[in-house]
Amino acid sequence: EAEKDFIAYVRREKGNEAAQRIENVECLAKIEGLKQIAVRGKLKDSIEWIKTFLESDQKLVVFCTHKFTIDALMEQFQGAVKIDGSVTMKDRQRSVDVFQLNPKCKLFVGNILAAGTGITLVASSNVAFLELGWSPALHSQAEDRCHRIGQKDSVNVHFLLAQNTIEEKIAKMIDAKRKVVDSVLDGKETEQGNLLMEIMQSYL
């Protein structure tokens, strides 16, 4: 009986709260799986888009969330630099310096959390999100790596989304929340919220 419907079994034996926790874990696993499927499905086309972009002789900053995505980009683009959780603080600064100062280094690949704050990447005025974070603030902070003192050009931001996947749903929620944040006047702060619970509710 437990094997056939484990959540129903836990709800009867342990109560609704315990069952809800298991449902949340199950839903998180589903969401993570769908995100990985989406990025794997679009990775080849995204790499081609990046190659075409770099032929314009402009530099590009690409943000991702999964290690396998970053590894795939680093394998495809020799001479690119990266910052993710595996890069030491000393090597992070080296990656920034190479990207900023070496005209031959055209691509910076960063994890949206590890590289989204505290660094300056004004050598590029182009940002691409190959994967999405969970809040508008994460994207704004990441974009701001190029939109800092010393930037002479307008910053262009590209979102490489897989059509008809969970990515479109996340992007729409991020856009809606960003509009709410942008509409607040007089310097007031508003709750930006984490999208994870909203996404989970749509799959429960």
Please report the pLDDT score of residue 201 as a whole number: 66
The torsion angles phi and psi of 18, rounded to 5 degrees, stand at -65, -40
**In whole angstroms, what is the distance from residue 181 CA to residue 12 CA?**
42
Q: Which residues of 183-202 are buried (b: 16+ CB within 10 A; e: fewer)?
A: eeeeeeeeebbebeeebbee
Q: Where does 102-164 have alpha helices with state H?
A: 136-143
Q: Contact at 8 Å (CB) between 142 and 113?
A: no
Mean pLDDT, the chain cut into blocks of 10 residues (204 residues total)? 72 84 80 90 97 95 96 96 94 95 97 92 94 88 86 88 90 79 52 57 63
Q: What is the pTM of this model?
A: 0.81
